[in-house]
Amino acid sequence: MSAFNLQTCARSNILALEPYRCARDDYKDDGTNVLLDANENAYGPSLPAAAISAASSSSGPEIDLLGLHRYPDPHQRDLKQLLCNLRNTHHHTNKAITPDNLFVGVGSDEAIDALLRCFCVPGRDRVLVCPPTYGMYSVSAQVNDVGLVKVPLLPAPMFALDTEKVVRTLSSEKNIKMVYLCSPGNPTGSLVAKEDVKKVLEHPTWNGVVVLDEAYIDFAPEGTSLAEWVAEWPNLVVMQTLSKAFGMAGIRLGAAFTSPPIARILNSLKAPYNISSPTSALASYAVSEDGLTVMRANREKIIKQRDRLIEELPKIKGVGRLRGGTTSNFLLYEILNAKGEPDNAIALAAYERLAEVKGVVVRFRGKEHGCLGCLRITVGTEEEGTRFLAALQTTLAEINGGDCRIPPKEEKKEVEANGVVA
């Protein structure tokens, strides 16, 4: 059992918060009402008829552009139910989660920030993070004047959670309100073991919240997500997003699964209409049966290309070891110097030359804890993978041959001819 007590863990001003309410919380619109309560423009959106006609005749989810002059649904229960349907797998509990277990926001970043505002008193409280990890935890903490306690992951290759040290730190350090865990990790691609999460949740004296960020979970084996486990633990929050496996980064839709009391607090402090009507419609389509069919087909293509990179990258001279796991849509590889050692200078030169000369953009992660000399490579299409592998091979040959010069802009013929692959 957990020592968690919401009444003493959450900020008192947040517990006392009365959420913003509108007349439509009391009187739902059935399509026949005259709506004179929200100061909307009754004549409709400022869009030309051609734009509305084009949207109405396109294939895919129906988005009511004529309804854009009305505020969106502030509660999103239909979308939340679809998300619950997706995660009620019963791999981890016989209980079912419901829309009462959910907060939906503008990407996972809104949930990260909202949790800090719920539980951490600025200038006093702290959160625990496990580097190398997603950078927005520390950015949001700094914005909210919340301190950071760092317990690094165990060394590569797997970057496992140092569970014993996390538990000891929660016992010895004061005012830690949250633990942020990333699974699969970014940039590590490694899963946090369920038993390790349980050990933190079971801490006998710590009164705080465990936040499990599952942004990449749909690239992991079936049944890996712990979203439904929030039905068992009052202080577990599992964050997910439609930006990765679902390919919906542009709509900025994230979800936080948690206990109903925490979900109520998160929904109380959010902006009244934080999810737009088009975002809601597109998200609902993405997690419908038709959308899931497309997602799963695309996921298989990504996994196939991921396996291809794992096979081909070690054949390139200057590429070192795979660090971390293979449960995401990216891979973390060492870049080596002439001595066969991981080297930040070589990795940074490769990163810059790939982008500026070859038009292939990856991510330099060498400054992250335990990631010396590493590049993080997103798995793209077959064509993008072919171009990347060829570009990396020639780039490392040039660098290790002593040519680290970036040609001036007028000489970058490959970029001009081929464009940039992100």
CATH of the domain at 177: 3.40.640.10
Domain boundary among 287, 306, 336: 287
CATH of the domain at 372: 3.90.1150.10
Q: Does 244 share its domain with 124?
A: yes
State the Cα–Cα distance between residues 332 and 365, nearest whole angstrom.
Answer: 8
Q: Does 245 share its domain with 311?
A: no
Q: Which helix (H) or strand (E) holds 267?
A: helix 260-269
Residue 281 lies in a domain: yes
- DSSP code, position 313: G
| Model confidence pLDDT, tens digit, residues 84-125 | 999 999 999 999 999 999 999 999 999 999 999 999 999 999
What percent of the chain has pLDDT above 90?
Answer: 80
Domain count, the chain: 2
Type of residue at 249: A
Q: Does 228 share its domain with 345?
A: no
Q: Which helix (H) or strand (E) holds 386?
A: helix 382-400
Q: Does 227 share its domain with 375?
A: no
Q: Does 309 share its domain with 162?
A: no
Q: Does 278 share its domain with 325?
A: no
**Structure confidence at residue 49 (pLDDT):** 79
Residue 40 lies in a domain: no
Type of residue at 150: K
Contact indicator for 191, 183 with CB cutoff of 8 Å: yes
Q: Does 270 share its domain with 366?
A: no
State the Cα–Cα distance between residues 103 and 89, nearest whole angstrom.
Answer: 19
Residue 98 lies in a domain: yes
Q: Does 78 share its domain with 124?
A: yes
Q: Does 267 share its domain with 405?
A: no
Beta strands, E only, 63-167 = 102-105, 126-129, 147-150
Q: Does 180 share its domain with 275?
A: yes
Residue 264 lies in a domain: yes
Q: Which helix (H) or strand (E) holds 375?
A: strand 374-378
Q: Which of 35, 313, 229 shows the shortest CA–CA distance to 323? A: 313
State the Cα–Cα distance between residues 9 and 265, nearest whole angstrom.
Answer: 12
Residue 221 lies in a domain: yes
Domain boundary among 240, 269, 287: 287
Residue 46 lies in a domain: no
Q: Does 201 share its domain with 240?
A: yes
Token pair, residue 133, equals 């990890």
Residue 230 lies in a domain: yes
Its domain, for residue 341, covers 293-418
**Structure confidence at residue 183 (pLDDT):** 97
Domain boundary among 252, 270, 287: 287
Q: Does 267 share its domain with 366?
A: no
Residue 39 lies in a domain: no
**Structure confidence at residue 267 (pLDDT):** 96
Low-confidence spans in the chain with pLDDT less than 50: 409-422
